[in-house]
């Protein structure tokens, strides 16, 4: 085999290899759709490739104006028509006994502790934030679990401080 053939094979290998390597890895998405009861809308979770941060975009309506509500991922999935009480406790795969908020460290909160959402003067919640502890893949994924909205603000210290569960939706994988 002469030098020209070896160089040609090398160039072809580089070109075909680069074609395979240019395939872009897409972000992972999940969605919780609230469509029964007073609270309507959706929450989208998006995790970019090779990152731990998950962006959470909330677009909900039907709240009393200017009210704050506990916002948590609970352990168990629910079926359509089920009571939100069937969602079980806050999602806590690490058995972190303290209850906290999204700005607390991983040992000072449950994975499902996402803090509070605040409605505007029209009873809508439109907010975007990120969380470093939830995941959309793996054994600790939030996909298939239940997103719960509570009637009152969470004090970020005491479990169930945010009152009864007023709305809930299953978190499902999503393409958009």
Q: Which residues are known catalytic residues?
A: 72, 74, 90, 99, 110, 113, 150, 165
Residue of 24, 42, 13 whose CA lies nearest to 126: 42
d(CA 148, CA 166): 8
Question: Quick one: which of 146, 137, 142 has its CA closest to 28?
Answer: 137
∠ at Cα 128 (164, 115), nearest 5°?
35
Q: How many CB atoms lie within 10 A of CB 46?
A: 18
């Amino acid at each position: 085999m002469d030098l020209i053939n070896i160089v040609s094979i090398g160039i072809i290998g580089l070109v075909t290899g680069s074609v395979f390597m240019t395939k872009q890895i897409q972000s992972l998405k999940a969605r919780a759709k609230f469509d029964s009861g007073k609270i309507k809308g959706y929450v989208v979770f998006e995790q970019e490739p090779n990152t731990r941060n998950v962006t959470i975009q909330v677009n909900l309506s039907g709240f009393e104006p200017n009210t704050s509500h506990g916002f948590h991922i609970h352990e168990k999935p629910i079926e359509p028509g089920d009571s939100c009480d069937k969602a079980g406790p806050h999602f806590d795969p690490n058995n972190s006994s303290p209850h906290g908020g999204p700005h607390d460290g991983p040992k000072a909160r449950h994975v499902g502790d996402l803090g509070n959402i605040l409605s505007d003067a029209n009873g809508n919640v439109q907010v975007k934030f990120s969380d470093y502890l939830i995941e959309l893949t793996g054994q600790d994924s939030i996909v298939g679990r239940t997103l719960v909205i509570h009637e009152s603000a969470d004090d970020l210290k005491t479990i169930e401080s945010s009152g009864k569960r007023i709305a809930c939706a299953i978190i499902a994988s999503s393409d958009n």
